[in-house]
Structure 1
Amino acid sequence: MTPSSSSPTRSAWQNPWLFVALAALALAGWQWLETRQQLNNVQQEVARRLAESEAGNKEDRGAQKQLLAQVADLQAKLGALDGKLAEFQGQSETLQSFYQEMARSREEATLLEVEQAVTLAGQQLQLAGNVPVAVLALQTADARLARLDRPQYMPLRKALAKDLAQLTGLPFVDVPGISLRLEQVVAGIDKLPLAAYGRPVESSENPPAGNVLPWWQRSGGEIWQELKGLVRIQRFDREEPVLLAPGQSFFLRENLKLRLLNARLALLSRDQWTFRNELKVAQQWLTRHFVADDKAVQAAQATLRQMSATEINVELPSLNQSQAALRNVRTGKEKP
Structure 2
Amino acid sequence: MNDQSSPSSSPVPQSGAEAPTEVVAASAPAAPPPAAAPAPVSAPAPAPAPALAPAPVVVHAAAAAPALPGWAMPLGLVLALLAAGGAWTSWQTQQRVHSLEMELVKRQQGSSEQSSEARVLARQADEVARDAAAKVALMEARVSEVALQRGQIDELLQSLSRSRDENAVSDIDAAVRVALQQSTLTGSAEPLMVALRSADERLARLSQPRLEPLRRAIARDMDRVRSVAVPDIGSLLIKLDESVRLADELPLVSQSATSGRAVAAAQQARAAAPAARASMSAEGASSVWPQWLLDWDVPLQRVWTEIGSLLRVTRIDHPEAMLLSPEQGFFLRENLKLRLLNARLSLLSRQPEAASADLQAAQRSLVTYFDMGARRTQIAAELLRQVASQSRLVGIPRPDDTLAATAAALAGR
Query: TM-score, with normalisation over the residues of structure 2?
Result: 0.41
Query: TM-score, with normalisation over the residues of structure 1?
Result: 0.50
